[in-house]
């Protein structure tokens, strides 16, 4: 029989620890497919942040370094400088990257470190129980914004892909979503492009992925998909915010 769909070689056959309905697993799959497609598994090293993504090594048959919360871009910097011929990616949640780790990601991007960050934005601190993050939407109720996020006290949700796109060192900054097949397909292309650009030594690439966290949003998986479409995308528009075409550095 001719198989037309199968598990990517760069993804291990393991039961997942992610909650049913969570799109972290889709992100994993897209990255594994891209690694396969580019044939880079044996020279790829992954650096998960701390959060639901921390068990990266559980799923990927690649070398993995576990970074402190928010510091993956700094670890990736040291690693890439020590091994410029390797493909280094960080995989960070929105708490990890957009809260505790803003300094590290901004400066790695600004130096144009030739690494890739996959940024999973599910608008809450998932692993610790769904507390409010800088990315939490206005009015969104979480365990630490029980009355809904109020801009007067907590400010507005932070748009990382747009912000990072302003930095000269960034070669690629895009936002995609993981809630429908069409969006997953777009996301797949973005993941491949980011890794290709790293392979071509073009600088810092970041792919922000709008992701569900139905458990902590306290909704069903289907409702979570609607929330991405109707609540997240209107505030976090999808698109490419920066894309260099060649080694067009200043």
Partner 1 sequence: MDRRLTKGNIALAEGAIQAHCRYYFGYPITPQNDIPEYLSRNLPKVGGVFIPAESEIASINMVMGAAASGKRAMTSSSGPGISLMQEALSYMAGSDIPCVVVNIMRSGPGLGGIAPTQGDYSQAVHGGGHGDYHSIVLAPASVQEMFDLTIKAFELADTYRNPAMIIADAMIGQFQEPCRLTPREPVVVPDKPWALTGCKGRAPQLLKSLYLADGEQEAHNLVMKQKYDIIRDREVMYETRHLEDAELMIVAFGTPARIAKTAIENLRARGIRAGLLRPISLFPFPVHQVHDFSIRIKKILVVEMNTGQMLRDVQISAHRDSRIFFYGRPGGGVPYPDDIEAQVVAALEEA
One residue of 81, 189, 218, 247 binding partner 1 per CB under 8 A: 81
Whole-angstrom distance, CA of residue 88 vs CA of residue 183: 25
Characterize the bridge pairing of strands 116-121 and 124-125. Answer: unpaired
Q: Does 189 bind partner 1 (CB under 8 A)?
A: no
One residue of 23, 77, 114, 140 binding partner 1 per CB under 8 A: 77
Q: Does 102 bind ligand TPP (CB under 6 A)?
A: no
Give how many residues touch ligand TPP by CB under 6 A.
Answer: 18
Q: Does 31 bind ligand TPP (CB under 6 A)?
A: no
One residue of 26, 52, 192, 206 binding ligand TPP per CB under 6 A: 52
Q: Are the beta carbons of 54 and 66 closer than 8 angstroms?
A: yes
Q: Does 104 bind ligand TPP (CB under 6 A)?
A: no
Burial class (CB in 10 A: 0-12, 13-18, 19+), 61: middle
One residue of 36, 37, 66, 168 binding partner 1 per CB under 8 A: 66
Of 38 and 158, which CB lies nearer to ligand TPP in the complex structure? 158
Q: Does 166 bind partner 1 (CB under 8 A)?
A: no
Whole-angstrom distance, CA of residue 57 vs CA of residue 195: 19
Q: Does 43 bind ligand TPP (CB under 6 A)?
A: no
- Phi, psi (deg, nearest 5) at residue 115: -135, 170
Q: Does 76 bind partner 1 (CB under 8 A)?
A: yes
Whole-angstrom distance, CA of residue 88 vs CA of residue 195: 9
Q: Which of residues 111-150 bind partner 1 (CB under 8 A)?
A: 111
CA distance to 9, 68, 81, 103, 224, per residue, from 188 (Å): 16, 28, 27, 28, 21
Strand partners for 133: none
Whole-angstrom distance, CA of residue 28 vs CA of residue 179: 14
Binding site for partner 1 (CB under 8 A): 41-45, 47, 54, 57, 60-68, 71, 74-83, 86, 103-104, 106-107, 111
Which residues contact ligand TPP (rule: CB under 6 A)? 49-53, 69, 93-96, 120, 122, 124-128, 133
């Amino acid at each position: 029989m001719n198989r037309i769909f199968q598990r990517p070689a760069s993804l291990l056959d393991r039961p997942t620890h992610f909650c049913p309905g969570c799109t972290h697993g889709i992100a994993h799959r897209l990255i594994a497919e891209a690694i396969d497609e580019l044939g880079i598994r044996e020279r790829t090293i992954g650096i998960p942040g701390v959060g639901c993504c921390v068990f990266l090594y559980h799923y990927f048959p690649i070398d993995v370094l576990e970074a402190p919360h928010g510091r993956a871009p700094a670890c990736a910097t040291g690693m890439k400088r020590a091994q410029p011929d390797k493909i280094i990616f960080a995989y960070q949640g929105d708490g990890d990257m957009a809260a505790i780790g803003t300094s590290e990601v901004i400066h790695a991007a600004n130096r144009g470190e030739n690494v890739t960050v996959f940024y999973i934005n599910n608008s809450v601190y998932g692993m610790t129980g769904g507390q409010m993050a800088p990315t939490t939407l206005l009015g969104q109720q979480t365990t630490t914004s029980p009355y809904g996020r109020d801009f007067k006290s907590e400010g507005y949700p932070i748009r990382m892909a747009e912000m990072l796109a302003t930095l000269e060192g960034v070669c690629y900054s895009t936002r995609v979503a993981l809630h429908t097949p069409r969006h997953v397909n777009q996301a797949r292309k973005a993941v491949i492009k980011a890794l290709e650009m790293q392979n071509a030594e073009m600088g810092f690439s970041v792919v922000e992925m709008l992701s569900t966290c139905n458990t902590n949003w306290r909704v069903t998986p289907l409702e979570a998909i609607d929330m991405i479409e109707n609540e997240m995308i209107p505030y976090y528009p999808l698109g490419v915010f920066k894309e260099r075409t060649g080694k067009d550095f200043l």
